[in-house]
Amino acid sequence: MPPPPPPSPSSLPRHSTLSWSRWTWTPPPIASTSTPLSPAAAAPAPARCSTKCPTENVFSLNRILSGYSKSGDLSAAHDLFLASPHRNAVTWTIMMSAHAAAGRGSDAFSFFRGMLRDGVTPDRVTVSTVLNLPGCSVPCLHPFAIKFGFDTNVFVCNTLLDAYCKHGLLAAGRRVFLEMPNKDSVTYNAMMTGCSKEGLQTEALELFAAMRRAGLPASHFTFSSILSVAAAMAHLHIGCQVHALVVRSTSESNVFVNNSLLDFYSKCDRLGDMRRLFDEMPERDNVSYNVVIASYAWNQCAGTVLRLFREMQKLGFVRQALPYASTLSLAGSLPHVQIGKQIHAQLILLGLASDEDPLGNALIDMYSKCGMLDHAKSSFFNKSGKSAISWTAMITGYVQNGQHEKALRLFCDMRRAGLSPDRVTFSSVIKASSSLAMIGLGRQLHSYLIRSGHRSSVFSGSALVDMYAKCGCLDESLQTFDEMPERNSISWNAVISAYAHYGQAKNAIKMFEGMLYCGFNPDSVTFLSVLAACSRNGLADECRKYFDLMKHHYNICPWKEHYSCVIDTFGRAGCFSDVQKMLVEMPFKSDPIIWTSILHSCRIHGNQDLARVAADKLFSMEPTDATPYVILSNIYAKAGLWEDAAHVKKIMRDKGVRKESGYSWVEIKQKIYSFSSNDQTNPMIDEIKDELERLYKEMDKQGYKPNTSCALHLVDDELKLESLKYHSEKLAIAFALINTQPGTPIRIMKNLTTCLDCHAVIKMISKIVNRDIVVRDSRRFHHFKDGVCSCGDYW
């Protein structure tokens, strides 16, 4: 027996909860029939209908439903919908759109399911509406489009393609694109945007070219999409061609396209072109100002940023839309804490200082860069909701201010709070571990990085390359670089810097050439590493070559640090006339680093006259620093001028200047052990001294002669030898030999420069015990192996 027919919707009472079994559908409940779900802002609401539907004409019904929906009166629309005896696809689509606009996506889906159960065939607008609903499963809805015959409809296929791309399903979107018999400009725009979002910029350019060949007109969205591609590629030529095409294709200026052009010129560092376009724009919105201000802030143009910021305020832009984050970024990069505090005060007045996550994070970053960690911590702990970005900003602040232990503790707190670190977090924490030279912790972070899925991140990979190098593990640093699936200029800079720190100038230069071969342009940091490599190997001609290449071929303005490297190279090579010439040419005032470098060069070559000039400069610049006193005293003592050496030390004592104590530390089983010269505090000091005595006996057999010039004191020879024997790095090496397995490398860190005698001793120890010994002092790395040091005895 066939089932009985379902009751007519008009025969049901209003708000009936009766289920229509499998043939029918019950609309989702409306929260209140008296209060609209959203404000009636679109149009005046039509008169409320009675229980009975006012018309049986579906066209009129849909007009009334549309009026209710636009006015935000969903309850009235719901009542009318229930009372209507006839509904078509438009009726259901109006209800779906109204619920979606009110943020009731799940209810909109319920209407779609009810429509299918009622046997109403969706039209193309219905399918497009459903595909645009938040949270929709595009692969599940795709078969419906095919079933109802819309797989060849351009409108539906465009919506389907756009939905796939927005959900990151680019392969499925490309399949839809290729199977479409007809394509229009919207089709190409959607596919270009999808490719661009996935980083496939070349494919997006090819689609744009295909669109032009097909004779399809480019819309504002087309220009915006292709300009974002050119900006991502930093391809100035393509962007300028698109700009010309915009001028030829459109008679009226469009603020949306102009904003895309501003963003393109900004990301290509064409501030002049960006400013000209901005000044010529007949219409500007808050996006225009935000793009330009962010670009000027990035380039630290403080005056221009503040001027444009005040202009926005005078023009009456909504205060919440002002570029506070960019201005705070500028204040941090200068650093200029007064600007930052003024912006902070405005945010407090607007109630945005603690609740808005991006602005709260910008405050943490600004105060950290200005060295005001107490204010940064206050902004961090006062935030009502801390995101992973907030934690990362505070961790980075600690690292920037040298508080590496606190950065690591905060990272542990972040993990306990249940937040997942991102690639920036890892980069900061890895930098903290490298600064502390904690290789054990660095390896743990590397392992955690792999488990959390950030191994392929170019930022994290570059940080690991730097970390392994700074912890004395050059081989692991190079292996990490070789295993990186993707590299950028930061990655190349890291590996060039690693070779430079180890004194391997030829390899550093080879990597520099490899960087150029792979299509990466060197920047200021790249050349700084190359010049440092030349400096540490005494390559004066190569240093001059790359310094000129930086200035004249790549048009990079040298920093003071570049001049410092060149001066250090010339000085160590004994080219003091070139040093004097560089001091005159340099557009900066000489700082203590440069004069200390000159003083060290004078020590190497015994240039007493220039040493006296350099020391006098340092005495006036840093009167409490013992370094120039010690070096000058040593220069005099080495020349046998003991009275002059004693006079310098007397001046040092009279001024109360104390030499910084030398200490070394070594990590064994993830624990740090530190030693000072002639240290007696270690519980194993007797075993350490016994081990050193054993080593000295072996060294005596091989012809070791103590270098007493490293103990330049007015004392007898016996005391000189005694003072040399127990330098901090020697104690640390002996301790490591006792507490580690034979054959394992030993890594020592020291806060001062390694002396000549220690350098000679460690070379011999590395051969006696057949171990690699890596010493990182205040200037560079020394890798001792089989009685030879990587520095070639030049440091």
pLDDT confidence bin for 39, thresholds 50/70/90: very low
- Please report the pLDDT score of residue 455 as a whole number: 67
Peptide bond into 335 cis (omega under 30): yes
Which of 2.60.40, 1.25.40, 2.40.50, 1.10.287 would CATH assign to domain 589-660?
A: 1.25.40
Q: What is the pLDDT at residue 789?
A: 92
How far apart are alpha carbons 394 and 457 in whole angstroms? 21
Greatest mean pLDDT among 282-296, 319-333, 618-632, 696-710 lies in: 282-296
Which range has the worst mean pLDDT, 25-39, 508-522, 765-779? 25-39
Give the mean pLDDT of 319-328.
88
Using one digit for the tens of pLDDT, what is the confidence trace for 381-392? 888 778 899 999
Give the model's pLDDT for residue 561.
Answer: 93
Q: What is the largest CA-CA distance in the chain?
A: 125
**What was the pLDDT predicted at 354?**
61
Mean pLDDT of the chain: 85
| pLDDT tens readout for residues 128-187 | 888 888 777 778 778 878 887 888 889 888 888 988 888 888 899 899 999 999 999 999
Question: What pTM did the predictor assign?
Answer: 0.69
Q: How far is residue 174's CA from residue 180's CA, in Å, rounded to a whole number?
A: 10
Flag whether pLDDT at 583 surpasses 60: yes
Alpha-carbon distances, residue 158 vs 30, 34, 193, 194, 637 (angstroms):
33, 39, 12, 12, 84
- Evaluate whether 429 touches 397 at the Cβ level (below 8 Å): no
Distance CA 123, CA 150 (A): 8
Residue 113, pLDDT > 60, answer yes
Among 103-112, 213-222, 571-580, the least confident range: 103-112
Q: Convert the pLDDT of each residue in 406-464 to its tens digit.
A: 999 999 999 999 998 888 898 899 999 988 888 888 998 898 888 877 666 788 889 99
* Domain boundaries defined on the chain: 589-660, 663-789
Three-state DSSP at 136 gives coil
Query: Are the beta carbons of 670 and 599 closer than 8 angstroms?
Result: no
Pairing outcome for strands 781-785 and 746-750: unpaired
Distance set, CA 203 to CA 191, 350, 692 (Å): 9, 45, 65
Distance CA 473, CA 491 (A): 17
Question: Half-sphere exposure of 398 toward its Cβ, with a 13 Å CA cutoff?
Answer: 24
